[in-house]
Amino acid sequence: MMRVAILGTRGIPNNYGGFEQLAQYLSEYLVSKQHEVWVFSSSAHPYKEKWWNGVHIIHCNDPEKTMGTTGQFIYDLNCVIQIRKLKPDIVLQLGYTSSSIWHWLIPPQSVLITNMDGLEWKRSKYSSPVKKFLKYAEKLAAQTSDVLIADSPGIQAYISSTFHRNPSYIAYGATSFTNPNEEFLKQQQLTPFSYYLAIARFEPENNIETIINGFTLSHTDKKLVLIGNHQNRYGAKIRNKYSHFKNIIFQDPIYDINLLNNLRYYSAMYFHGHSVGGTNPSLLEAMASQALICAHNNVFNQHVLGNEAHYFKNENDIMVLINTNPSPEQNKKWNEKNLEKIKNLYSWPQINLRYEQLMLSSL
C-alpha cells in the first residue's frame, strides 16, 4: 500500500478544471486499490468535508481571492507544510506554476512526481516578467522532481530536449458518452444541432475571438454557445464587444457532466481553440461525446485527433467550414473513430493504472 499526497489543484470534487478532474478520478481509483490518498483543497472550495469517497481532503488556507496571484504561492506553501507532517511515500505535483519553488520543503523520503502540464510561459495573458518566472519554475520542476510526467508526446519531446530528462508519457482520460437525452437541452433553450459550441477559459491562447469572428462572418442562422469563465478582464472585453449579437450566448461555467456531455453531443460542431499545452481534457471529452470537432491547427491537437477532425488557423477557415456544411457520412465516421480512441487510448481506467504503476515503480 502506498501513501499518496496530491498537490497543485484547487481541490476535489472537481469544480474548476483539468488537473482537478485528474485528481478526482485518480484519487478515487487509488483508494479502491487500497492506497491511502490525501488531496489538498483550497479553503475557497465549496466542498468542506474531510473525506470524499474514501479520499482524505485537507483544506488549506487560500488567500488568492484577496491577494491575487501571490495568494497562489501562499496556498501551495500551506499545502507543502501539511505534506511535511504527513511524510507520504509519493507526492504527485500537478503543474509547477506556483508550487515548484517550495520543492526544498518536500520531505526527503517522499518521491516527488511532477506532471509538467503545458508550456505555461507561452500563454499570451502573462507579462514578460511573469513569463520569465514561469520558465524558471519550469526549470526548477524539471531539475528537482524525481519523476516527470508529460501529457503529450510534444511536451515529452520538449522536456527531453530542453532539460535532458526522460518524462513518462501519460495523457488525460475521458469517459465514453453513449446515452444522449434531448431533455437536457431544454434548460438551455436549445434544440439538437441548432448551435455551435466551445467550452474554454476566456484566454487569448484559446482563440475565442477567432472562433467568434469566423462564426459572425458566416452569417449562419445557428447559435454559438460559449461556456467558460468570462468574468476576467479578457472575458469581459470579449463579452462586451460581441454582446449585440443575439445568436451568441455567453454561458457561465457548467460542472454538471451530464449536461455538458449532452451539449457536446447535440452541437452542430464543437470548436476547440486551445493552442498552448498538451493533451487537453475538454478535447477528450468532446471526442468522448461524439461531437464533430474543429480544432486549432497545432501539434498537440493533431496528435490526439489525427485526420478525424477539421482544423482552423484563422477566422476565414471557420467561416468557410460553417458555410460548406461537411458531409454527414464523413462526420459520423470521424465521430465513431474518435470515440474508439477514447476507449482504446484515453479511458480513465487505463490512465489511472498507468499512474499507479509509475508510482509503484518509483518507490
Same domain, 135 and 245: no
DSSP 263-309: HHHT-SEEEE---SSSS-HHHHHHHHTT--EEEE-SHHHHHHHTTSS
Tens digits of residue pLDDT in 89-115? 999 999 887 888 999 999 999 999 999
Same domain, 9 and 156: yes
How many domains are contained in the chain? 2
State the pLDDT at residue 326.
78
pTM of the model: 0.89
Same domain, 165 and 239: no
Contacts 24+ apart (CB under 8 A), 186-191: 187/259, 188/225, 188/251, 188/259, 188/263, 190/223, 190/225, 190/263, 190/266
Tens digits of residue pLDDT in 327-351? 889 999 999 999 999 999 999 999 9
Same domain, 78 and 162: yes
State the pLDDT at residue 122.
60
Same domain, 289 and 147: no
Same domain, 135 and 215: no
State the pLDDT at residue 239.
94
Please give the average pLDDT of every successive group of 10 residues along the chain, which has 363 residues: 96 89 97 98 95 97 87 92 96 89 94 84 68 85 95 90 95 94 94 97 93 97 94 90 95 91 97 87 95 95 96 97 89 96 96 98 97
Same domain, 227 and 147: no
Same domain, 326 and 358: no
- Of 139, 40, 137, the closest CA to residue 98 belongs to 137
Q: Is residue 178 part of a domain?
A: no
Q: Is residue 135 part of a domain?
A: yes
Q: Is residue 273 part of a domain?
A: yes
Same domain, 254 and 115: no
Same domain, 223 and 304: yes
14-26: b or e for each residue (b if 16 or more CB lie within 10 Å)?
bbbebbbbbbbbb
- The domain of 211 spans 183-345
Q: Is residue 146 part of a domain?
A: yes
Same domain, 16 and 154: yes
Q: Is residue 75 part of a domain?
A: yes
Q: What is the CATH number of the domain that holds 38?
A: 3.40.50.2000
Stretch (H or E) spanning 334: helix 328-345
State the pLDDT at residue 34.
98
Give the bridge partners for 298, in sequence order.
none
Same domain, 200 and 145: no
